[in-house]
Amino acid sequence: MVVFETVLVANRGEIAVRVMRTAQRLGLAAVAVYSEADKNALHTRQADEAVLIGPAPAGQSYLNVDAVLEAARVSGAQAIHPGYGFLAENAGFARRVADAGLVWVGPPPEAIEAMGDKIAARNAMIEAGVPVAPGTSEPVRDASSAVHAAASLGYPLMVKAAAGGGGIGMSAVEDDGQLGAAFETARTRAERFFGSPAILLERCIRPARHVEVQVLGLADGRVVALGERDCSVQRRHQKVAEEAPAPGLSAQTRTALLDAARRAAWAVGYRGAGTVEFLFDPVSEELMFLEMNTRLQVEHPVTELVTGVDLVEQQLRIAAGQPPSFDPDAVPAARGHAVEFRVYAEDPVRFLPGPGKITAWQEPTGEGIRVDSGYAEGDTVTPHYDPLMAKLCAWGEDRAQALDRLGAAAAAFRVEGPKCNLPLLAELLDQPDFRAGDYDTGLVDRMRG
């Protein structure tokens, strides 16, 4: 690569480590940024150079645009990869990166903005011919307008922060009474977490499967789809396990899904790696656009395992104006099956966080096993950041083999110190409907009664 030789990874934990691995494999130097809490963190150790950017709270470190740009300046980095979360979907940051004369390893800021507001995104998708669930086309201002809108949309409804993500502030409501309370909670959280009180109401699809498509907007403007993932195993509207391909989709549904995803990305002039999320109604076989994540996704490894494509490499190539490493006219199809489980520092029953010092950490190895970790033995999981410690992934010739390998790997994964949700995976693998690939987003709630 000639456009940049040094890339700064503006993130922490497993994703920073994972991005740096590809950058270093490609011969690039990797610069880490770290907070005072992450002085000895794995991502800091993995980097060729590491720059302290502030105290532990993310607002003063990983979310501090000036500090990150200053770190790029002092380290001589020529490109910035944002990972996911933190500044990854911050269009203002993307502009500041470009204004500083650096390469932004991400989509154009206009595409981030077009998809960042869920209401504007829904409206743009309707215009682009991408199917959406019935919902409000303007922000809902107060509880009484919400009740008014609900009368025409019908229950059950989802109450969501228009600027939100990660399931924060989102809830399902069954009637006017629940709507009033949920609306106030959503608005408070929307303001606190996303800095905007705008609320969206959308028809709640139940049962539903969460399916999503990995897209790449190429440097020449074409958009290709690298297959789909199913992410229906969720707790608190956040994903716990993901797999590729999505089980049980008909060829016709898969074609419609990939086509809708390409159209969605095309409509906003997308470049780089992104994910278009849909809800799939397994009864009516209808697809409905949910949102587009304008960044690398946590669960991207399952796509890498079935396609053999390194998505971070494609991000770097696209940012450098180069063609992808595969022939865009013959996009690699999925081979075999891959499953990922998110290893969180939380208890497997109530899903409450349990940070702590890692006194033992032994990762499983074996055929088809991949572990992306942000921690190692002796590291401390602090309460300052999200609970993801590692991603345990397994590939198999078919789904049954992938699940068997995942189960064996989970049993061999030793984590002591923080709370750890690995027992949930063992339980999940014993669920007949999960085993059969016939499950929806209500699976974990049903397991917990």
Partner 1 sequence: MSNKIHAEMVANVWKVVAKPGDHVGIGDTLVILESMKMEIPVLAETEGTVRELAVHEGDVVQQGDLIAEVE
Cβ closest to partner 1, residue 190 vs residue 211: 190
- Is the dihedral angle over the CA atoms 22, 24, 29, 34 positive or is it negative? positive
Q: Using CA atoms, how far apart are residues 316 and 219, in angstroms rounded to an integer?
A: 11
14 scored as a contact of partner 1 (CB under 8 A): no
Smallest gap, in angstroms, from Cβ of residue 442 to partner 1? 21
| H helix or E strand, kind and range, residue 235 | strand 223-235
Smallest gap, in angstroms, from Cβ of residue 351 to partner 1? 9
List the alpha helices (DSSP H) in 57-206.
Answer: 65-75, 91-99, 109-116, 118-127, 143-153, 176-194
345 scored as a contact of partner 1 (CB under 8 A): yes
Smallest gap, in angstroms, from Cβ of residue 257 to partner 1? 30
Q: How far is CA 4 from the centre of its chain?
A: 26
Q: Using CA atoms, how far apart are residues 194 and 308, in angstroms rounded to an integer?
A: 36
Q: Could you tell me if 42 and 376 are in contact, meaning their C-beta atoms sit under 8 angstroms apart?
A: yes
Looking at 3-11, 26-34, 268-276, 351-359, which segment touches partner 1 (CB under 8 A)? Answer: 351-359
Residue length of the chain = 449
Q: Using CA atoms, how far apart are residues 150 and 56, in angstroms rounded to an integer?
A: 42
Which residues carry out catalysis?
A: 295
Cβ closest to partner 1, residue 107 vs residue 418: 418
Contact letters for partner 1, residues 168-187 (x by CB under 8 A):
x-------------------
Cβ closest to partner 1, residue 168 vs residue 447: 168
Contacting partner 1 (CB under 8 A), which of 156, 207, 356, 437? Answer: 356
Cβ closest to partner 1, residue 2 vs residue 352: 352
Q: Which long-range contacts (CB under 8 A, 24 or more apart) does 236-239 make?
A: 236/167, 236/351, 237/167, 237/170, 238/166, 238/167, 239/210, 239/298, 239/299, 239/342
Residue 66, classified by CB atoms within 10 Å of its CB into exposed (0-12), middle (13-18) or buried (19+), is exposed
Cβ closest to partner 1, residue 347 vs residue 427: 347
355 scored as a contact of partner 1 (CB under 8 A): yes
**Touching partner 1, residues 387-446 (CB under 8 A):** 387, 419
Q: Could you tell me if 377 and 359 are in contact, meaning their C-beta atoms sit under 8 angstroms apart?
A: yes
Looking at 101-109, 271-279, 334-342, 350-358, which segment touches partner 1 (CB under 8 A)? Answer: 350-358
354 scored as a contact of partner 1 (CB under 8 A): yes
Distances from the Cα of 278 to the Cα of 84, 175, 309, 346, 415, angstroms: 19, 25, 23, 27, 34
Q: Could you tell me if 26 and 1 are in contact, meaning their C-beta atoms sit under 8 angstroms apart?
A: yes
Q: Could you tell me if 28 and 49 are in contact, meaning their C-beta atoms sit under 8 angstroms apart?
A: no
272 scored as a contact of partner 1 (CB under 8 A): no
Q: Using CA atoms, how far apart are residues 201 and 107, in angstroms rounded to an integer?
A: 27
Residue type, 333: A
62 scored as a contact of partner 1 (CB under 8 A): no
**Touching partner 1, residues 368-387 (CB under 8 A):** 382-387
Structure tokens that stand for 449 in this block: 């009664």
Smallest gap, in angstroms, from Cβ of residue 355 to partner 1? 5
358 scored as a contact of partner 1 (CB under 8 A): no
Contacting residues for 378 by C-beta, under 8 A, at least 6 apart: 357, 358
Cβ closest to partner 1, residue 180 vs residue 356: 356
Smallest gap, in angstroms, from Cβ of residue 55 to partner 1? 12
Residue 120, classified by CB atoms within 10 Å of its CB into exposed (0-12), middle (13-18) or buried (19+), is middle
Structure tokens that stand for 432 in this block: 């007949």
Structure tokens that stand for 214 in this block: 């990995």
Smallest gap, in angstroms, from Cβ of residue 388 to partner 1? 9
Cβ closest to partner 1, residue 238 vs residue 431: 238
Smallest gap, in angstroms, from Cβ of residue 51 to partner 1? 24
Looking at 268-276, 287-295, 354-362, 430-438, which segment touches partner 1 (CB under 8 A)? Answer: 354-362
Contacting partner 1 (CB under 8 A), which of 353, 401, 431, 447? Answer: 353
Give the number of residues in contact with partner 1, rule: CB under 8 A.
16
167 scored as a contact of partner 1 (CB under 8 A): no
Cβ closest to partner 1, residue 73 vs residue 384: 384
Looking at 97-105, 113-121, 331-339, 344-352, which segment touches partner 1 (CB under 8 A)? Answer: 344-352
78 scored as a contact of partner 1 (CB under 8 A): no
Smallest gap, in angstroms, from Cβ of residue 89 to partner 1? 15
Smallest gap, in angstroms, from Cβ of residue 353 to partner 1? 4
- Interface residues with partner 1 (CB under 8 A)? 166, 168, 345-346, 352-356, 382-387, 419
